[in-house]
């Protein structure tokens, strides 16, 4: 399956839709999210410590994410990829993709990660509503994301305004567009 991809490469490519396999799009999101987050200083063991992207549960990416982060750096930090089978095994990680295989355990996973500066990302339906930070959602043939700003802020993560501007959750059929305020309305 292929999906549209447009924002990830906005800084490097002309404005156009790129068609790519879904796993590649999601992997690119994970990598690129890390570019738009500022972590508290205590999130890294040392000034030279790597930025760690983790996958919790069944890995939906195969080697795609490995290939993407190989020999890469973000903010002068080497990027490393670590896979975890259980949330109890998650140690020092900065971006954590929570796989669909963790759906039933999601509340306990998010609870275990509470008070830790970890950007949580998942494509589990309702992820943002359940307290996750970045929910990947499929809309027609596009992968979009919705951000839980409160959850990120609570854990001490500072999200770039560039990333926040792209937070455009899809409107639902029963959602009506907001009406601009009436300029003749005295307030």
- The CATH number that applies at residue 89 is 3.40.50
Average pLDDT of every residue of the chain:
83
178 within domain boundaries? no
71 within domain boundaries? yes
pLDDT one-digit tens code per residue, 64-90: 999 999 999 999 999 999 999 999 999
pLDDT one-digit tens code per residue, 111-133: 999 999 999 999 999 999 999 99
12 within domain boundaries? no
Residue 144 and residue 137 in contact, taking contact as beta carbons nearer than 8 Å: yes
6 within domain boundaries? no
176 within domain boundaries? no
Q: With cut-offs at 50, 70 and 90, classify the pLDDT of residue 58.
A: very high
| Tokens at 168, concatenated | 């455009």
Dmax (CA) of the chain:
59
Give CB contacts under 8 A, 24+ apart, made by 150-153: 151/120, 152/37, 152/119
| Strands of the sheet with 2-5, listed across from one edge | 18-21, 2-5, 142-147, 134-139, 119-122, 95-98, 51-56, 77-84, 73-74
Listed range (52-56, 90-94, 105-109, 182-186) with the worst mean pLDDT: 182-186
15 within domain boundaries? no
182 within domain boundaries? no
- For the chain, how many structural domains are there in total? 1
What domain range is 40 assigned to?
Answer: 22-165
29 within domain boundaries? yes
């Amino acid at each position: 399956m292929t999906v549209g991809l447009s924002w990830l490469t906005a800084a490097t490519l002309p404005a156009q839709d790129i068609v790519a396999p879904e796993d590649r799009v999601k992997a690119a999101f994970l990598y690129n999210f890390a570019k738009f987050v500022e972590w508290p200083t205590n999130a890294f063991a040392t000034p030279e410590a790597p930025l760690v992207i983790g996958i919790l549960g069944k890995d939906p990416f195969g080697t795609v994410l490995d290939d993407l982060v190989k020999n890469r750096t973000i903010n002068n930090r080497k990027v490393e990829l670590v896979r975890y089978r259980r949330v109890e095994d998650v140690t020092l990680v900065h971006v954590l993709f929570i796989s669909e295989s963790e759906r039933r355990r999601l509340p306990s996973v998010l609870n275990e990660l509470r008070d830790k500066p970890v950007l949580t990302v998942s494509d589990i339906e309702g992820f943002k509503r359940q307290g996750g930070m970045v929910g990947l959602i499929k809309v027609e043939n596009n992968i979009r994301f919705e951000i839980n700003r409160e959850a990120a802020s609570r854990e001490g993560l500072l999200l770039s305004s560039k990333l926040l501007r792209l937070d455009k959750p899809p409107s639902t059929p029963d959602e009506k567009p907001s009406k601009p305020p009436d300029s003749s309305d005295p307030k």
